[in-house]
Amino acid sequence: MDNGNTFAAHLAWCGLVALHLARLDGQVCSPGQENLFLTRWLATAEKQRRFRRELANDIRWLLKEGREKGMRADLPGKLHYLWRAGNDLKAQNDLFRLQHALHAVKLTGWDYRVLSESEWSGRRALKISPAVAGIYLKKSALENGFSLEGVQISPLPVRINGNLSALDTLLERAGWYRVSVPDEPQLHYLRAVVSPGGN
């Protein structure tokens, strides 16, 4: 783990603890109040330079998200993601790490859906808009692709539309990678990276 991850995890931990204490004190009782509290907390942290310079861009981005998107920014979710990403994510099982990566993808604004058989193929298949970044998983493959211990037992087919290099970065951080299918540009397979000692 690099120091950047450690510093971001510390920022996220401080924000989540501050939010929890505000909830206990009765200052925060709704998602709207959570967003407002965290936006103010981040603005104060930036003004008072409470965190290392390396985090200035992260703080600015979180502030922009909170101010522009309001409750849709899901600042608690973003802080939770930063905290988890800064801890030993790769020690978790494959399914947990995949869920973590997909949550991160959703936080970036991508459409994320789990599709039934009829939505995946056939006449009622979901039409993927080229204008919308998204990742779409087949429900049956997700249900049957993992052991009871959360270890991947078969490749996971997904349909993807969006910036593949950005997605690859998020997947890599969570110990996953993408394999494209040459004849079908939107179809890919997700695979967990096998650790040196096996999964």
Are 102 and 171 a contacting pair, CB within 8 Å? Answer: no
Q: Does 18 score more than 60 pLDDT?
A: yes
**What are the pLDDT digits (tens) for 109-159?**
899 999 999 999 888 888 888 889 999 999 999 999 999 999 999 999 999
Q: Where are the domains of the chain?
A: 3-86, 92-192
What pLDDT sits at residue 160? Answer: 95
What pLDDT sits at residue 87? Answer: 66
What pLDDT sits at residue 128? Answer: 85
What pLDDT sits at residue 88? Answer: 66
Q: How confident is the model at residue 5 (pLDDT cuts 50, 70, 90)?
A: low
What pLDDT sits at residue 3? Answer: 44
What pLDDT sits at residue 4? Answer: 47
Over residues 53-78, the mean pLDDT reads 88
Are 138 and 161 a contacting pair, CB within 8 Å? Answer: no
**What are the pLDDT digits (tens) for 30-45?**
988 999 999 999 999 9
d(CA 155, CA 151): 11
What pLDDT sits at residue 2? Answer: 39
**What are the pLDDT digits (tens) for 161-195?**
998 998 998 898 888 999 999 888 899 999 998 75
% of the chain surpassing 90 pLDDT: 50
- CB under 8 A, 24+ apart: contacts of 31-34: 31/71, 32/70, 32/71, 34/75, 34/76
Give the ranges where 52-145 is alpha helix by DSSP (H).
Answer: 56-69, 75-86, 94-107, 117-120, 139-144
At residue 137's C-alpha, the angle toward residues 133 and 142, to 5°, is: 155
d(CA 168, CA 170): 5
